């Protein structure tokens, strides 16, 4: 629940349908819509698509708006929705769902971004998932003396300028070269979908592979998306991950997987398995569901409570449910639905005056389950602590729980993320207030102090080794910077030093983001 206040940068999708397929153009738009629905958890601020159709005057056309996917595509109004599907029909297209971690929340900053030009290879649209850690540095390098102008405070706009720069000249460039050169300029996480008015389409995974990106084929279509569940629900039974530094290139009817940049190391974001990714997805050949089950098993090994018949396990829906179930099974404690999620509450619900109102809108506490019980409340993570504090209070006061013991499947978060997760300052995190050394495991004394801060009767976190074991990838292939301060890129390290300096100067107040 605490990390339900965290937001991911975005989700991306791409579809190519052979023109030999019957109703190819109609299939593409519908497939994009379905994939974006399945990626909705990665971004609920806006949604959009760009499609290519050389039979219409607007060869490359983009549609985007603020709102959930069904709101944007007006599916509550079938006539309007079918008009949209017909207008944007094409034999290939890209799609995007967004949450803002850089830039504001206006419709103008919804993806895809389209840049029009009279030369077709310079007319392109793109969307991306991630965050450029060196955005501030790129802004400083921008050639203001040549009267270039940055309209938005957005790394997306900066990325658009660099892609456009790679398309200069009188001959159509190779997209391998374009994105190879871009990779030399950018530091951070950036999975990209790209489409131009020549019909060329590229799906690009950054050289360190921070974010997941998969592709597959079904029903005469080649599809790619941020997560495998989006492809599976479009009929792709077997999907493959693009490797870091690889791209899927579509030119005409030809589809190829090519390397565009070297990959010095892998840095897969461990938080994808803990919280962000859909539980049904597989990321880099590792099941999200099984990883969360293992996190619960590892957490159970750390339990210190003298278990009695009065103890129950309650998972915070939905991302903590697999960990909570396996935690309860290992300890032989009943796992109860003490919190029921309201699944019809979306991004635009009335939040009320504070976090307690938000909790009441998202959850209903079942007093018949919680009253008088010693609740082992399993959550996926604690970031800022403010939501956890209100949740503990809610379970006790409204649910009637006798005790609430927080059990967290993710280790303490000590450091900001500069790669696309909305936790960018040291001051907003609760753990650094009680722990001085980011490289050490949290002590029992520090956990006790955080528990007191949150109003919980006790608190136990998983440790870092448990995360590595649960995901089943080598630690060197994971980005765990938010847990240990070891950033995998040069600018990530610089941003952390800057963030610590800014926080010290803020004297107890929350400092600004390093890239603002």
For residue 250, give the 3-state DSSP assignment: strand
The string over 302-313, giving b where at least 16 C-beta atoms fall within 10 Å of a residue's C-beta and e elsewhere, is ebebeeeeebbb
Cis preceding linkage at 112, omega within 30 = yes
Contacts of 57 (CB under 8 A, 6+ apart): none
Q: State whether the Cα torsion 351-352-358-361 is positive or negative.
A: negative
**Active-site residue, 10 included:** yes
Which residue has tokens 């956990």?
A: 447
Is there a contact between 103 and 155 (Cβ–Cβ < 8 Å)? yes
Q: Which residues pair with 248 in a beta bridge?
A: 203, 257
Catalytic residue among 10, 102, 269, 410: 10
Distance CA 355, CA 316 (A): 15
First-to-last CA distance in the chain?
27
Strands of the sheet with 335-336, listed across from one edge: 335-336, 311-315, 374-379, 403-408, 458-461
Is there a contact between 505 and 409 (Cβ–Cβ < 8 Å)? no
Check residue 145 and report its DSSP letter. G
Helix axes 175-185, 155-166, angle to 10 degrees: 140
Question: Where in the sequence numbering do the catalytic residues fall?
Answer: 10
């Amino acid at each position: 629940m605490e990390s339900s206040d965290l937001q991911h940068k975005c989700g991306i999708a791409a579809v190519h349908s052979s023109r030999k397929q019957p109703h190819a153009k109609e299939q593409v738009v519908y497939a994009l819509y379905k994939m974006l629905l399945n990626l909705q958890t990665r971004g609920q601020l806006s949604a959009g698509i760009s499609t290519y159709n050389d039979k219409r005057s607007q060869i490359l056309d983009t549609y985007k708006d603020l709102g959930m996917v069904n709101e944007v595509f007006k599916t509550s109004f079938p006539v309007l929705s079918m008009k949209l599907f017909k207008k944007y029909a094409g034999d290939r297209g890209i799609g995007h769902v967004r949450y803002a971690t850089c830039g504001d929340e206006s419709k103008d900053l919804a993806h895809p971004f389209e840049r029009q030009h009279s030369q077709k290879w310079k007319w392109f649209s793109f969307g991306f998932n991630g965050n450029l850690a060196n955005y501030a540095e790129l802004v400083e390098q921008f050639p203001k003396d040549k009267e270039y102008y940055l309209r938005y405070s957005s790394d997306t706009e900066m990325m658009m300028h660099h892609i456009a720069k790679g398309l200069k000249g009188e001959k159509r460039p190779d997209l391998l070269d374009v994105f190879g050169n871009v990779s030399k300029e950018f530091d951070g996480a950036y999975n990209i979908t790209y489409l131009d008015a020549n019909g060329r389409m590229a799906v690009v995974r950054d050289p360190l592979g921070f974010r997941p990106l998969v592709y597959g084929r079904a029903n005469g279509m080649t599809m790619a998306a941020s997560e495998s569940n989006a492809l599976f629900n479009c009929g792709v039974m077997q999907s493959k991950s693009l490797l870091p530094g690889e791209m899927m290139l579509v030119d005409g009817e030809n589809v190829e997987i090519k390397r565009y940049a070297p990959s010095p190391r892998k840095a897969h974001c461990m938080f994808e398995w803990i919280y962000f990714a859909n539980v049904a997805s597989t990321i880099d050949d590792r099941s999200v569901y099984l990883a969360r089950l293992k996190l619960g098993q590892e957490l159970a090994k750390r339990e210190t409570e003298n278990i009695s018949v009065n103890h129950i396990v309650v998972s915070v829906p939905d991302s903590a449910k697999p960990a909570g179930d396996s935690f309860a099974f290992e300890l032989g404690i009943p796992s109860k639905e003490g919190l029921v999620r309201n699944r019809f509450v979306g991004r635009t619900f009335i939040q009320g005056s504070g976090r307690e109102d938000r909790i009441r809108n998202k959850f209903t506490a079942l007093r018949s389950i919680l009253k008088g019980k010693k609740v082992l409340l399993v959550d996926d993570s604690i970031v800022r602590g403010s939501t956890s504090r209100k949740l503990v209070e809610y379970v006790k006061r409204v649910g009637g729980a006798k005790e609430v013991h927080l059990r967290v499947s993710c280790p303490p978060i000590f450091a900001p993320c500069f790669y696309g997760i909305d936790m960018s300052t040291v001051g907003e995190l609760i753990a650094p207030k009680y722990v001085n050394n980011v490289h050490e495991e949290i002590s029992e004394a520090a956990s006790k102090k955080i528990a007191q801060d949150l109003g919980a009767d006790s608190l136990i976190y998983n440790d870092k080794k448990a995360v590595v074991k649960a995901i089943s990838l080598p630690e060197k292939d994971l980005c765990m910077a938010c847990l240990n301060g070891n950033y995998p890129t040069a600018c990530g390290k610089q941003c952390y030093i800057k963030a610590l300096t800014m926080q010290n100067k803020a004297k107890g107040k929350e400092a600004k983001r390093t890239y603002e």
